[in-house]
Amino acid sequence: MRSLLYVIAVVLVVFWLLGAFMWHLGNLIYILLVLVIISFLLGIIRRGNI
């Protein structure tokens, strides 16, 4: 399950970086950034390394 979270996080980071260079995407960049942060927090919480 942990590796799945990392795969999702990497995919979201890649899309966020692509969106950062394509400024016309607008708020999608910030939505992706929030999703990446949430996925990392979930990974940390599920491992118990708070």
Residue 36 within any structural domain of the chain: no
Which parts of the chain register pLDDT below 50? none
Number of structural domains found in the chain: 1
Range of the domain at 5: 1-26
* Intra-chain end-to-end CA distance of the chain, in Å: 18
Dump the DSSP string for 15-49. HHHHHHH-GGGTTHHHHHHHHHHHHHHHHHHHHT-
At residue 36, the pLDDT reads 85
At residue 1, the pLDDT reads 57
At residue 50, the pLDDT reads 52
At residue 25, the pLDDT reads 57
Residue 7 within any structural domain of the chain: yes
At residue 8, the pLDDT reads 84
At residue 12, the pLDDT reads 84
